[in-house]
Amino acid sequence: MTTKRVRRVLAALIGLLTLSVATPAHAAPQPGLAGSDPARRAVPGVDGLIALRPDGKVFATVSDDAVRLWTTATGRRAGAPLAEGAGPIYSIAFSSDGKLLAVAGDRGVSLWDPATGKPSGPPLTGHAGPVRSVVFSSAGPLMATAGDDGTVRLWNSRTGILVRTLNGHAGALQSVVFSRDGSRLATAEAGDTVRLWQTGTGRPIGEPLTVSPGPVYAMSFSPDGHLFAASGGGNAVRLWNPATGAPAGEPLVAGSGPVYTLTFSLGRKLLATSSGGDNTVHLWNTVTRRPVGAPLAGHTGPVRAMRFSKNGKLLATGSDDGTVRLWDPATGSLEGAPLTGHAGRVWAVRITPNGKRVISAGADGKVRLWRVPKRNPA
């Protein structure tokens, strides 16, 4: 859950390589985590986004109005470019089985077969204007798209048939996210409004939710589906009951400044939230709604990106200070030295499904891969 600006950052994944879009492959090595390979490749994607196939073996980037596929282990091309000449692209996503890649942009939505590089059926039409966000449910073939026309459309991705259109927003939409079981959907306007929906009926859940002050910077469902969290320009993270749309207790308030990012742990009852005013990260117990330990301090700029490992034993953070840091959520301790090399803001961080690598993408147009310490298998 990210803003339009965050969604348009470069984030590519490569195995055992440090990538630089802006620097030729023969340039001097950059500093990295001990044991990482300093070699680099030039990978198109400066103007684009990334999507990681669920098995982690293939990733997609966007550049020059086309989508390119790459193998995670080598950083080499995995087939011909997709959606060439499709115009500006704002969002890409793999289906839960990895057999489809959705591309959304100025000219609507299209589905592609990554194995063949060919379209999977005709373009999906219906939105009046650009489509800003596309996401697949992890629990079936349902796919959601959200656009400047203020509508959300649900599709059967296997057939390309429109299931239903959700109306209720007053302005353009910037992002859409499913609950883990696919039964609910959250949509965010470009301002301060979020709506919850039942995907089975298309009905809204409760009244529109206001994230004040806006804009909406981040939103997410908890893995068990019992909580929905969203944050914006203030220092509070607001929680709701996704089943009713009612507030789920008092807002979580810590630190100062905007909460640019938040993320739930899959393996533990934890929620991590950033604090843009004092450059810290706060951990919360999602059952008690109480802080867990002291704030994670060390970054010298706001934290824009965070991601837990699959089992929740590692947290990666990326900051405006150009560094990536790895933390042990159980102790709040920093795992190794800060990972340096980005020249400017770090927009995105990922931990690979096998837990062996952390990947970071920065405003400098570079993507870097770091080894996870062996004593912290994820």
pLDDT in tens, 107-121: 899 999 999 999 999
Q: Which residue has the higher pLDDT, 191 or 244?
A: 244
Q: Are 97 and 82 in contact (CB under 8 A)?
A: no
Angstrom CA distances, 225 to 93, 95, 241, stand at: 21, 20, 9
User: Residue 13: pLDDT above 50?
Assistant: no
For residue 212, which of 199, 198, 193 has the smallest C-alpha distance? 193
Average pLDDT taken over every residue of the chain: 84
Residues in Cβ contact with 276 at an 8 Å cutoff, skipping those fewer than 6 apart:
255, 256, 257, 258, 259, 260, 302, 303
Closest CA to 314 of 303, 304, 323, 325: 325
What is the mean pLDDT of the segment spanning 51-62? 83
pLDDT digits (tens, 9 = 90+) for 31-52: 233 333 322 332 445 444 778 8
212 pLDDT above the threshold of 90: no
pTM: predicted TM-score of the whole model, two decimal places: 0.84
* Residues 89 and 67: beta-carbon distance below 8 Å: yes
CA 303 to chain centre: 14
The answer on pLDDT for 21 being more than 70 is no
CA 57 → CA 6, 52, 60, 138, distances in Å? 23, 8, 11, 18
Half-sphere CA count of 314, side-chain side, radius 13 A: 26
- Write the pLDDT tens digit of every residue in 294-303: 999 999 999 9
122-134 average pLDDT score:
94
Around Cβ 261, how many Cβ atoms within 10 Å?
A: 28
**Cα angle, residue 103 at apex, residues 304 and 316 outer, rounded to 5°:** 25
Judged against a pLDDT cut of 90, whether residue 278 lies above it is answered with: yes
| Separation CA 261–CA 3 (nearest Å) | 10
58 falls in which pLDDT band (50, 70, 90)?
Answer: confident
Edge-first strand order for the sheet with 236-240 is 218-221, 228-231, 236-240, 252-253
Q: What pLDDT shows up at residue 85?
A: 83
Looking at residue 60, its pLDDT comes to 82
Band of pLDDT at residue 172, cut at 50, 70 and 90: very high
Q: Per mean pLDDT, which range of 53-57, 130-134, 313-317 is the poorest? A: 53-57
Q: What is the average per-residue pLDDT within 355-376?
A: 74
- Please tell me the number of Cα atoms within 13 Å of 334 on its side-chain side: 15
pLDDT of residue 375: 60
Pairing of β 50-52 and β 118-119: unpaired
Q: Which of 53, 50, 81 is nearest to 65 (CA)?
A: 81
- Return the minimum-mean-pLDDT range out of 69-73, 145-149, 190-194, 336-340: 69-73
Tell me the three-class secondary structure of the chain, residue by residue: CCCHHHHCCCCCCCCCCCEECCCCCCCCCCCCCCCCCCCCCCCCCCCCCEEECCCCCEEEEEECCEEEEEECCCCCECCCCECCCCCCEEEEEECCCCCCEEEEECCEEEEEECCCCEECCCCECCCCCCEEEEEECCCCCEEEEEECCCCEEEEECCCCEEEEEECCCCCCEEEEEECCCCCEEEEEECCCEEEEEECCCCCEEEEEEECCCCCCCEEEECCCCCCEEEECCCCEEEEECCCCCCECCCCEECCCCCCCCEEECCCCCEEEEEECCCCEEEEEECCCCCECCCCECCCCCCEEEEEECCCCCCEEEEECCCCEEEEECCCCEECCCCECCCCCCEEEEEECCCCCEEEEEECCCEEEEEECCCCCCC
Query: Above 50 in pLDDT, residue 78?
Result: yes
Question: Letter for the amino acid at 359?
Answer: I
Structure-token match 């500006």, residue found: 88
Place of tokens 């990978």: 43
pLDDT of residue 334: 94
Q: Judge whether residue 365 has pLDDT over 90.
A: no
What is the rounded average pLDDT of the residues 168-173?
92
The one-letter amino acid code at 216 reads V
- Return the amino acid letter for 234: G
Write down how long the chain is: 378
Q: Could you give the percent of the chain with pLDDT greater than 90? A: 61
